[in-house]
Amino acid sequence: MNGKQRHLHRFHGGLHLPANKAQSNGGAVRALPLPKRLILPLSQHIGEPAEVLVKPGERVLKGQMIARARGYVSVPIHASSSGTVIEIADHAVPHPSGLRAPCVIIETDGKDEAAPDTLSGDPVQLDPNELRNRVRNAGIVGLGGAGFPSFIKLNPGANRPIHTLLINGAECEPYITCDDLLMREHAHEVVGGARIVMHALHAAACIIAIEDNKPEAAAAMRAALAEIGAANMDVVVIPTIYPTGGEKQLIKVITGREVPSQGLPADVGIVCHNPGTAAAVYRALMHGEPLISRIVTVTGAGVAQPGNFEVRIGTPMADVIAAAGGYTASAQRLLMGGPMMGFAMGSDTVPIVKTSNCLLVAAHDELPLPQTPSPCIRCGACVDACPADLLPQQLYWYAHVRDFDKIQDYSLFDCIECGCCAHVCPSHLPLVHYYRFAKTEIWAQEREREKADIARQRHEFRLLRIEREKDERAERLKQKQKALQTPAEAGADPKKAAIQAALERAKAKKASADVAPKNTDNLSAEQQQAIAAIDARRATASTTPAAGDDA
């Protein structure tokens, strides 16, 4: 199908922003030299951090699993090159908080020796469950920025059949061009990965959505589809507007359908994946390569030679900046991500992780520092710009006064944190920060509520256990009392019956002792005579009347 013939739709709000993509998309992707040291955080995705498998001093190979998935929403971490584990310790990681986190630090040996392949296989011969397991074991997550484990998206459930796979090549945020260059230079990998994902989902069709400011990428993808004759796959060119790259917004543009509030694309029969994710699936299943590298855009007026680089996961950002010619005199801020949804880095010693799609080194005139906020004037500009059709000023107000119950009445969790509202706010309010704060507090309250519920359930179970043990003791005592009673003594006191039975046993024992003959065969003659004398005296005493008795 020709993308020009498809009827496209429009989502609410959005912004037309300067693209600033020509700085980095003019040349081919460059390979970054192997770094001397790799810093691999155990948490590079949404969900539980991976559990470390190696020890300091251990030699590892490229692609070797060094940390396994812990919990369902988790994926493993692999060594990006061969070398020696020199330390497992907390290190600065790319996060808005600037905090440190556990990392595996590897000193590379320059050999780049690969581990044995355990991932590759014919996708057509593998059932969907095995495909999902291999995608998970490859450590693949969404490479568009969120970092959600990809294997979970490949398992939407039997009650949500998927009819369409949507490859999100919009890349709507300014400055970022890594997906653009990937689709230009590795279109066959994107298409091949998409076909594998379609097989895992049993999807009948695939749409590759690309914004109209990427004509080279669209042409390359169409050529790749024509080469394999994929009649059920199509490239659709869409208008350039931010944030078309949001899943719900892209689905609205392509299909006209609305994803339900707090719902998933799978609820309308669609699954979205990034082109980089599709290419990673292809490389894992066809070449046995786990996710150990990605394309990173390095751009901005603060870097000497902007461009796109193939970077090993765990490479320090300073090495990537150096490969791009280093900083210029105008460099002021370093961000991971774009100007709308990225966040500032306090240091360039932090490593590239799976979700690092862009390093933006901005000059002051490119990305001014945040201005002092003023009170909200209720102008409504944020409402007009919101692509999720929310009421940002109401969300701001309830977040400001910490009314976390009321703020959820205004669909807080439908906010995609795109930054459109803050971008147009004349009062310079950091609106997205307030929304993130409110979400974090609500999640914290839910965790505390879950802990309280678990404690309450434990207390109730303890009371039930105590009551059950009390009933069991009473039943055992009742059975014991019943066992002590004879049929003739059914109405007698059980304690007296027990005492009487003990007395009878004692009398019987004494009587048997008195009548038992004494064995004197082994005694000497003197001992036998002494015993006979004692027996005679006892006999005489038993027949002699006691003093005072009548003769």
Over the stretch 470-491, which tens digit does the pLDDT of each residue have? 999 998 888 888 777 655 555 5
> Which three-class secondary structure state does DSSP give residue 348?
coil
| DSSP-derived secondary structure letter, 50 | P
Q: Are 390 and 411 in contact (CB under 8 A)?
A: yes
pLDDT, average across residues 428-444: 93
End-to-end CA distance of the chain: 140
CA distances from 170 to 56, 89, 221, 309 (A): 42, 38, 13, 20
Cα–Cα distance measured from residue 296 to residue 308, given in angstroms and rounded to the nearest whole number: 6
Cα–Cα distance measured from residue 345 to residue 364, given in angstroms and rounded to the nearest whole number: 16
> Which three-class secondary structure state does DSSP give residue 13?
coil
What angle is formed at CA 320 by the lines to CA 315 and CA 322, rounded to 5 degrees?
A: 130
Element (H, E) at 476: helix 431-484
> Which three-class secondary structure state does DSSP give residue 53?
coil
Choose the CATH number for 3-362 among 3.30.450.40, 3.40.50.10540, 2.40.110.10, 3.40.50.11540: 3.40.50.11540
Q: Are 413 and 436 in contact (CB under 8 A)?
A: no
- Confidence grade of residue 321 (pLDDT, cut at 50, 70, 90): very high
pLDDT of amino acid 515: 53
**How large a percentage of the chain has pLDDT more than 70?**
90
pLDDT of amino acid 549: 42
Q: Is the pLDDT of residue 273 over 80?
A: yes
Q: Structure tokens of 129?
A: 């469950």
pLDDT, average across residues 458-466: 92
Q: How does strand 343-344 pair with strand 333-336? A: antiparallel
Each residue's pLDDT tens digit, 238-249: 999 999 999 999
| DSSP-derived secondary structure letter, 452 | H
Q: Are 222 and 183 in contact (CB under 8 A)?
A: no
Q: Is the pLDDT of residue 386 over 80?
A: yes
- Confidence grade of residue 50 (pLDDT, cut at 50, 70, 90): very high
pLDDT of amino acid 507: 79
Cα–Cα distance measured from residue 214 to residue 25, given in angstroms and rounded to the nearest whole number: 10
Each residue's pLDDT tens digit, 258-267: 999 888 999 9
pLDDT of amino acid 428: 94
pLDDT of amino acid 156: 87
Q: Is the pLDDT of residue 199 over 70?
A: yes
Across 167-176, 487-496, 503-512, least confident range: 487-496
> Which three-class secondary structure state does DSSP give residue 550?
coil
pLDDT, average across residues 112-129: 90
Q: Which residue do the tokens 């005679």 mark?
A: 536
Domains of the chain, by residue range, sit at 3-362, 374-481
pLDDT, average across residues 87-115: 92
User: Which residues, 6 or more positions from 76, have their beta carbon under 8 angstroms from its beta carbon?
Assistant: 50, 65, 67, 68, 69, 136, 137, 139, 290
Q: Is the pLDDT of residue 257 over 60?
A: yes
Cβ atoms within 10 A of the Cβ of 57, count?
9
Cα–Cα distance measured from residue 137 to residue 131, given in angstroms and rounded to the nearest whole number: 10
pLDDT of amino acid 355: 93
Q: What does the DSSP assignment read for 311-336?
A: EETT-BHHHHHHHTT-B-TT--EEEE
Q: Is the pLDDT of residue 520 over 70?
A: no
**Strand partners for 235:** 208
Q: How does strand 205-211 pair with strand 164-169? A: parallel
Supply φ then ψ for residue 543, to 5 degrees: -100, -15
Q: Is the pLDDT of residue 548 over 50?
A: no
Mean pLDDT score of the chain: 89
Cα–Cα distance measured from residue 121 to residue 112, given in angstroms and rounded to the nearest whole number: 23
Each residue's pLDDT tens digit, 359-376: 999 998 888 888 899 999
Cα–Cα distance measured from residue 78 to residue 40, given in angstroms and rounded to the nearest whole number: 8
> Does residue 161 have a cis bond before it (omega within 30 degrees)?
no
- Confidence grade of residue 525 (pLDDT, cut at 50, 70, 90): low
Cα–Cα distance measured from residue 41 to residue 51, given in angstroms and rounded to the nearest whole number: 11
Q: Which residue do the tokens 């945040």 mark?
A: 370
| Secondary structure in 3-state letters for 501-533 | HHHHHHHHHHHHHHHCCCCCCCCCHHHHHHHHH
pLDDT of amino acid 5: 64
pTM: 0.81
Number of residues that this document lists for the chain: 551
Q: Structure tokens of 96?
A: 């808005």
pLDDT of amino acid 69: 93
Q: Are 83 and 108 in contact (CB under 8 A)?
A: yes
CA distances from 118 to 73, 289, 290 (A): 22, 9, 10
CA distances from 48 to 74, 102, 149 (A): 5, 13, 11
Each residue's pLDDT tens digit, 152-163: 999 888 888 999
Each residue's pLDDT tens digit, 1-41: 444 468 899 999 999 999 999 999 999 999 999 999 999 99
pLDDT of amino acid 492: 59
- Confidence grade of residue 518 (pLDDT, cut at 50, 70, 90): low
Dmax over CA atoms of the chain, in Å, equals 144
